[in-house]
Structure 1
Amino acid sequence: MKSIRTLAIALAIGTALTGQTLAGDAETRAASEFELSTAVAEASRAWRDAFNAGDAAAAAALYEEDAVMVAKPFGTFKGRQAIEAFWEDIIAKGFDDVVYYNTVARVADRSLKSVSISAEWKMNNAQGIITNELWVLQPDGKARLREDHFEIAQ
């Protein structure tokens, strides 16, 4: 009888500890996702602010060095330098005041610490959709675009 009681106590303690571990894992995951979503929100806002200020270099700095941008119908741009040149040209043509709406963000890969954003956008001279902005948390705690896929509808 004593061994059954000891076993029951051991199981109760084990269950309690496992519950604490699961709760701790959930808290850690929630904190990590909060850090990720905050970094992405700040970086996305910084990109829009840079673009709207006419600062192609600052907008391009929010892309990873080897990022890929697919801008339909213009083409595919590989690397920060090519992406910056694209934005310089667009800004020089008078495009600005970009606004995102109907935005959807989802964690794309927890281990990669990435978020995928889709949205509709409009600006002074055009509008379209973002099919995938893939933001990845960098070792410095800031998010940068690894992939940027968007279309101009008008």
Structure 2
Amino acid sequence: MEESMKNITKTMLAATLAIGVSATAHAAGADDVEAAYQQWNEAFNSGDAAAVAASYTDDAIFLPPTHDVVEGPEGVQSFFDGLFQNGVTDHQLEVINVMEDGDEIVAASRWSAKGGDGSDIGGIATHVFERQDDGSLKLKLHTFN
């Protein structure tokens, strides 16, 4: 009976530690996503399509609501150049959920901006980030509606 209690205690301790580590990893991933979103918003709100494109991996896939499949930073830059020419501004991202698995982080968010006519626009976005060697995040997949 005493040995059984020791095993139960060890199991509970291990589970508690695993939950704590998972929560810490999730918090770190969420913090990293918030930082990446802040950087992305700053690039967008400066109207700098090249700076926005720098947030994407070389093999990134970007799926805008136009149903186009945009590939790589060059394609992303071209897309956002068009948005900026049409006067879209004041972009914000609000995290809904973050899930981390190794070097990949998936984030769901709400986005909002001002249309070229000053109207409020927005929707939902999904981002798959890839952690870089320096610890920063770059977008590998981005889609929104």
The alignment's TM-score, normalised by the length of structure 2, stands at 0.82
Partner residue of 1:147 out of 118, 137, 141: 141
Please give the alpha-carbon distance, in whole angstroms, between the structure 1 residues aligned to 2:24 and 2:104: 12
The Cα RMSD (Å) is 2.2
Per-residue CA deviation, residues 6-64 of structure 1 (Å, 9 max, x unaligned), is xx222222221221111111111111111110000110111011100112222111112
Please give the alpha-carbon distance, in whole angstroms, between the structure 2 residues aligned to 1:35 and 1:115: 13
Question: Alignment length, in residue pairs?
Answer: 142
CA distance 1:15–1:139, change in 2 (3 Å): farther
The alignment's TM-score, normalised by the length of structure 1, stands at 0.78
Question: Is residue 2:31 matched to residue 1:41?
Answer: no
Please give the alpha-carbon distance, in whole angstroms, between the structure 1 residues aligned to 2:81 and 2:59: 18
Q: Which amino acid aligns with 2:136?
A: K
Unaligned runs of 5+ in 2: none
Partner residue of 2:68 out of 66, 75, 80: 75
Question: Is residue 2:54 matched to residue 1:61?
Answer: yes
Question: Is residue 2:116 matched to residue 1:122?
Answer: no
- The range that moved more, 42-51 or 81-90, is 81-90
Please give the alpha-carbon distance, in whole angstroms, between the structure 2 residues aligned to 1:14 and 1:64: 47
2:79 corresponds to: 86
